[in-house]
Amino acid sequence: MPATRREAMKLATRQRVLEAARDLFTEQGYAATTIREIAVRAEVSTGSVFTTFESKEDILSTIILERQNELNAAIAAARSARSGDARARLKAALAAGYAYEFQRLLLVIEQIGASWTWSSQFEERSRPSLLRPFAFVREILVEARDEGLLRTGVDVDLLSDMALGAYLRNFRHACFQKWTLERTCAAMAAQVDMLFDGAAVRTDQ
C-alpha cells in the first residue's frame, strides 16, 4: 500500500477515534468510557486505537488541546469586535467562551477534573494554548486601566485570576445546578461588574 494512502487511512482512523471519544466523554463521562467502547463507536479495532494513541489519557489530552484552540478562536473573535468599553468587551469575550463550551458541557467538567492529574509533559506542551484565555482577559483589563475604568495601580494579574476563577467555577453551577447558558452568562456579567466596581477609580477621595 502506498505510503500516502497508509497515512490517509491512519489520519481517518485518528479522526474517527477522536470524534467517538468526544461523543462518549460528553454522553457518559471520561471515567465511565472504555477504550473498547471508543473503538466500537469509531468502528475500528481496539488495536487500531492503541496504534494511534498511547492511552485513553492521550485521547483526552488531544481532545482538550483541539477544543482549547477552538475556544481561543471564539474568544479572540469576540474580543476583536471591540464594541463598548472594556467592561462590555470582557463580558462579551467570556460569554463567547461559554457559548462554545456549552455545546459539550460534561466534557468541560471532565477537562477541569483531568487538569489536576495530567502529566507534566502534557502541561508543558499545552501551556501556551491553555494560558491564552488568561492573556485575553489580562489584555482587556489593561485596556480598562488605560481607559480610566480601573485604578492606575490595580493588579491586573490578580484581577485576571479572579475573573477566570469565577468563569471556571460557574461551570459547576451549570452542570450540577442545571444553569442555562443565559443564566451562566448573566452570573459572569455580574461577577465582572463586581470586579470592575471593586477596582474602579475612586471619586470620593
> Where are the domains positioned within the chain?
1-53, 56-198
- At residue 205, the pLDDT reads 47
| Tens digit of pLDDT at every position of the chain (205 positions) | 566 877 888 889 999 999 999 999 988 888 899 999 999 999 999 999 998 998 888 898 899 889 999 999 999 998 887 678 999 999 999 999 999 999 988 888 888 887 887 778 878 878 888 889 999 999 999 999 999 999 999 999 999 999 999 999 999 999 999 999 999 999 999 999 999 999 997 765 4
1-53: CATH topology? Arc Repressor Mutant, subunit A (1.10.10)
Which amino acid is located at 155 in the chain?
A: D
CATH class of 56-198: mainly alpha
CB 33 within 8 A of CB 49: no
- At residue 111, the pLDDT reads 83
CB 52 within 8 A of CB 14: yes
The tens digit of pLDDT for each residue in 16-59 reads 999 999 999 988 888 899 999 999 999 999 999 998 998 888 89
| CA 25, chain centre distance (Å) | 15
- At residue 149, the pLDDT reads 94
61 half-sphere exposure, CB direction, 13 A CA radius: 18
**Within this chain, domains 1-53 and 56-198 share the same CATH topology:** no
